A and B are shown apart, each in its own frame.
Chain A
Amino acid sequence: MNVLDIRNVTKTFGDFAAVDNMSLSVREGEIFGFLGANGAGKSTTIHMVSSLLKATKGDIEILGKNIAKFPRFAKANIGIVPQDLAIYEQLTAYENVRFFAGLYGLRGSLLQERTEEALEFVGLGDKAKSFPKSFSGGMKRRLNIACAIAHRPKLIIMDEPTVGIDPHSRNYILQSVRKLNEMGCTIIYTSHYMEEVEEICTRIAIVDHGKIIAEGTKEQLKAIVTDTKEIWIGVRSEEGVGIEALRSIPGIVSARIDDGMIKLQSKAEINNLNEIIQQLIRSRADIRSVEEQAPNLESVFLTLTGRNLRD
């Protein structure tokens, strides 16, 4: 059964189509990765699914019911974890979760039970009476999640839930996503961190210019990239590497340097490794390692959109 069906949805702002005739389905029990650079149409799509925006054209269904006709039903079955923290600093952690869960009609002992449960789930059970201003960034992110899950939604939409937090909290959140999924929740997950998406998502859609340009499991997506290869060369110093010179080598599609690692994408049929090494020797780069990478989501994204996810 599909938890979410988006059919031929378009959203325009004046003459600009933020989402352009998009169709997409998310099946029950999936962790669905939604990838796209800034301005690709990801947030607009999420806002339409959560009824914050009305689609200009097309239909969106949650659990088989059209959200335009049954908005309360749709909203009651969705939990949103927004990218920006959406909590009240003047309310305690308990009061925050309780208030947002109460918006879904929960009251009395059930509300109390679900609130405590959600706080325990994100590891803030012992901080229930504390105010968010005393929390670290990671704890606030976890509270942000608790506020979205206390009413036990069928579909949870997580928009960049790990932005700007420490590795410990990040791991905690990723574990929580898996645990929620095991408990029966379907999750739509957006992130700039490809490794996160690769690690937890069962199916992924790549959106660009308001359209879905690729959709499938990570293996299916990687299979798209058969005509390029990824070469990673470790250097001791990034100074004087001569990235422009590397780009001019025949077959090179893209070249960038990231934390002491030169990442080159090259046409698969051209053997240009010798020229690359010679160029680096000419520029007196101190080479530490050379390895050919198997295609990953980042290279898939780059191949399909011509840009990095973080552009």
Chain B
Amino acid sequence: MRNDWLWLVRKNLTLILRDRKSGLLHLILPIAGVLLSLLLYGNTNSGTLHIGIANNDGDVSIAADAADYLSRLEKVEVTMLDEAKLKEKIASREIDSGVVFPAGFSEKLKHGEAPAADIVSIRGAQVTAYVGAMLNEYLGNTAAIAQTSASNPELFDRLYEDFAHSGYQVSSKTLRDSSGKKDVTYQAIGFLILFMLTSSYSLTEFMSKERENRTFLRMMSSPVSSRIYVLANVTVNAIVLAVQIVLTLIFMEVVLGIDAGVPFGELTAILFLFALAAIGLSLLIVSFSSSNAASAALSNLVITPTCLLSGCFFPTDIMPDAVRRISSFLPQRWLLDSLDKLQGGERLSDLPLNLAILVAFAAAFALIAAYRLSRKDNTGQFV
């Protein structure tokens, strides 16, 4: 059994190594994806943070004062916009982050409640966190005044007037801002996900091709079992994806000097876990297809749209809630979420749910595919 498996793995690797197109698909394109990410996001870290503010609470309000406060911060440029325009500019990356003050914001704050202002960004968690921290600084003080004035509007107005017009000093210290590189990493991983899925499908499709060129029938008429045959294909798939991951990350970190903000080992491990889900998904696609052409069409229907929905090409923050909910059912989303959390300083051991979900996706896809493949009683099929 083991010998049969190794024999098939060896043959598949030989065929892949002899195919120039597969080298391009599996190794060159992911690297091109990293270069493209660098081109798109490599120069975005100019040092000035562009914030758009949509103030639905009126021009004379605490919200307006908070916007004014932000505009006076160093290295921050504020643009006042309406909510629709704000979302549009975030999507087109003309601004780095957006703050939306809802109507009644100031009144709630005055009465000691904690109203929420929406902070939206597509530049990653760090930008959101920075804007949030700055805003909390100002609004936190205002909230403290509200609590001190104990629902006495006159006292609140007097204290707030003093606070708002007192000179305050913000001392700035230059820190290395890695958000730009992390954006590049996020986008590069987004592209890598697409190429991993494409590679995995292409390698699994190999089984469909062998079915069509009849070599599969010759193999199945030998003592080799169909299970060993599929296992060998999965093994080769895993080997190629592992090489693809490691080479892409090495190119990103060593050649381009992009610090992903996540230890190399942890990033490789989480990507490999996703690779297993990708292999499961490609097996599922092939198992549901009756021919090579059908599986190619199905893969087109599945791979690119799910990558779009899960945020491989742009963050899910700007997507409607319904779409975001759908993306929770996609393994890509959980990989990107893990990456986001790892970049935010968490360790792989802090993400058991994400890891479990990726493993569950891989297992579920593989089990359904195994069931489908085992039910086919036709010489054109696998078992």
A307 an interface residue at 8 Å Cβ cutoff? no
Q: Contact at A88–B223, with CB atoms within 8 Å?
A: no
CA distance A86 to B209 in the complex (A): 11
Extra 19 A-B pairs, beta carbons < 8 Å, given A85-B214, A91-B15: A47-B379, A52-B220, A52-B221, A52-B379, A75-B223, A84-B213, A84-B214, A86-B214, A86-B217, A86-B218, A90-B14, A90-B19, A100-B222, A102-B7, A103-B4, A103-B7, A103-B223, A104-B222, A147-B218
Q: Contact at B379–A105, with CB atoms within 8 Å?
A: no
Chain B residue at smallest Cβ distance from A151 = B222
| B-binding residues in A (CB < 8 A) | 47, 50-54, 71-72, 75-76, 78, 80, 82, 84-88, 90-91, 95, 99-100, 102-105, 107, 147-148
**A202 to nearest B CB, angstroms?**
24
Give residues of chain B (4-60) contacting chain A, Cβ–Cβ below 8 Å. Answer: 4, 7, 11, 14-15, 18-19
Q: Contact at A105–B11, with CB atoms within 8 Å?
A: no
Q: Contact at A86–B4, with CB atoms within 8 Å?
A: no
**B218 to nearest A CB, angstroms?**
4
Q: Contact at A75–B222, with CB atoms within 8 Å?
A: yes
A–B pairs, 6, beta carbons within 8 Å: A52-B220, A71-B223, A75-B221, A82-B218, A86-B213, A105-B3
Contact partners of A86 in chain B: CB under 8 A: 213-215, 217-218
Q: Contact at B377–A78, with CB atoms within 8 Å?
A: no
Q: Contact at A103–B217, with CB atoms within 8 Å?
A: no
**B25 to nearest A CB, angstroms?**
16
CA distance A84 to B213 in the complex (A): 8
Contact partners of B250 in chain A: CB under 8 A: none
CA distance A75 to B218 in the complex (A): 11
Contact partners of B18 in chain A: CB under 8 A: 90
B298 an interface residue at 8 Å Cβ cutoff? no
B224 an interface residue at 8 Å Cβ cutoff? yes
Contact partners of A84 in chain B: CB under 8 A: 213-214
**A201 to nearest B CB, angstroms?**
22
Whether A82 contacts B11 in the complex (CB less than 8 A), given A75-B223, A105-B223, comes out as no
Contact partners of B379 in chain A: CB under 8 A: 47, 52-53
Contact partners of A148 in chain B: CB under 8 A: 218
Contact partner of A80 (CB less than 8 A), chosen from B213, B218, B224, is: B218
Contact partners of A95 in chain B: CB under 8 A: 14
Contact partner of A53 (CB less than 8 A), chosen from B19, B223, B377, is: B377
Q: Contact at A88–B15, with CB atoms within 8 Å?
A: yes
**A301 to nearest B CB, angstroms?**
26
Contact partners of A102 in chain B: CB under 8 A: 7
Contact partners of B217 in chain A: CB under 8 A: 52, 80, 82, 86
B219 an interface residue at 8 Å Cβ cutoff? yes
Contact partners of B14 in chain A: CB under 8 A: 90-91, 95
Q: Contact at B377–A82, with CB atoms within 8 Å?
A: no
Q: Which of B7, B19, B222 is the most central at the interface, judged by chain A CB atoms within 10 Å of its CB?
A: B222
Contact partners of A88 in chain B: CB under 8 A: 15, 215
Q: Contact at A54–B11, with CB atoms within 8 Å?
A: no
Q: Which of A86, A87, A148 is the most central at the interface, judged by chain B CB atoms within 10 Å of its CB?
A: A86
CA distance A204 to B378 in the complex (A): 27
